[in-house]
Structure 1
Amino acid sequence: MLNAFASPHRPLRQTGFTLLELLITLAIVGILAALAYPSYQQQVRQARRADGQTALMRLAIAQEKFRGTCPRYADRIVGEAGCAATGMGSGALGLDNLSVDGHYRLQLDSVSARGFQALAAALGNQTKDQAGGQSCRLLSIDQDGNRMPRECW
């Protein structure tokens, strides 16, 4: 027997998402991404800070090796390694003035027979690096291994 309430042309119920549901989902994802991105950027900068720290440590070790064979510390980073006074070398460390990954520029400051200070200046987006409210755009190490700023090491 044929049911009086059943329609032979009853429309099928469609499944899927409505445009409104998709827009709400996209809005939520966008808000979460906007909140997470600055934190992600700071984590990337913190990881890149190791590039500058490693470069400074390498430079400090090279200075100590230089001092072991010369009566003073090297006053230049780039150039032929060796003592200039002995006629061999140019009084330089023979290193590059950029860190390995290129996020820091290296330089020597306050060089004498008794000491030195090596600096790593951040380049590009790395200049926004901070740790504990302290800017980490300029890292330093001296002949005694003193590292500044402390929060950045």
Structure 2
Amino acid sequence: MKRIQGFTLIELMITIAIIGILAAIALPSYQDYVRKSRRSDGHAMALKIGQQEEKWRANNPAYSKDFSTLNLSATAGTLTLASENGHYTMSVHANNDASCSGDLATDGNRSTAYCIKAVAQGRQSADTTCATMYYKIQNGNTSTTPAACWSR
């Protein structure tokens, strides 16, 4: 008697179900990992801007909100700048409230404080936890919010 080889329909359905369950668990985890890794784009740019702000402030009476004066943009009057990989839009504001909404050019604290705001763009905007990150300087002290976005 000749033996029949191959998969039965039940075996095939079980295999597909197992693959589906694994994909349902793995895909969201992978997407979360990718979003977290893209945060480093915003972190690196915020630190670069902070470094340039400190260089500027060493020779000037106040911090600057114009990226061209910080040697980060060739266009004078540039007030927003994309991060290196384009996942965040960066801007510099007065550090006068929790949301960094003040205008650095007119704020009275502009000689001692500033805030770098990173707003997620494109696919990174799905990172609802860290859609907006802040890097704040006040009298030489730094703070970052939300804290979960800056931890390792």
Settle same-fold status: TM greater than 0.5.
yes
Using structure 2 for the length normalisation, give the TM-score: 0.76
Residue type of the alignment partner of 1:35: I
SS in 2 for 1:145: strand
Task: State the partner residue of 2:131.
Answer: 137
Instruction: Provide structure 1 residue ranges, at least 5 long, that are not aligned to the other structure.
Output: 1-9, 80-91
Quick check: which has more Rg, 1 or 2?
1
Task: Name the counterpart of 2:66.
Answer: 76
Instruction: Tell me how far 1:59 sits from its aligned partner.
Output: 0.7
* Superposition CA RMSD, Å: 1.6
Consecutive unaligned residues in structure 2, runs of 5 or more: 74-80, 95-103, 105-109
Q: How many residues align?
A: 126
Q: Percent identity?
A: 37
Alignment of 1:1-153 (within 5 A): 10=1, 12-77=2-67, 79=68, 92-95=69-72, 97-110=81-94, 111=104, 112-129=110-127, 135-143=129-137, 144-153=141-150
Moved segments of 4+, more than 6 Å: none
CA deviation after TM superposition for structure 1 residue 104, in Å = 0.5
Following superposition, the deviation at residue 16 of structure 1 comes to 2.3
SS at match of 2:46: helix
TM-score (norm 1): 0.75
Amino acid at match of 1:30: G
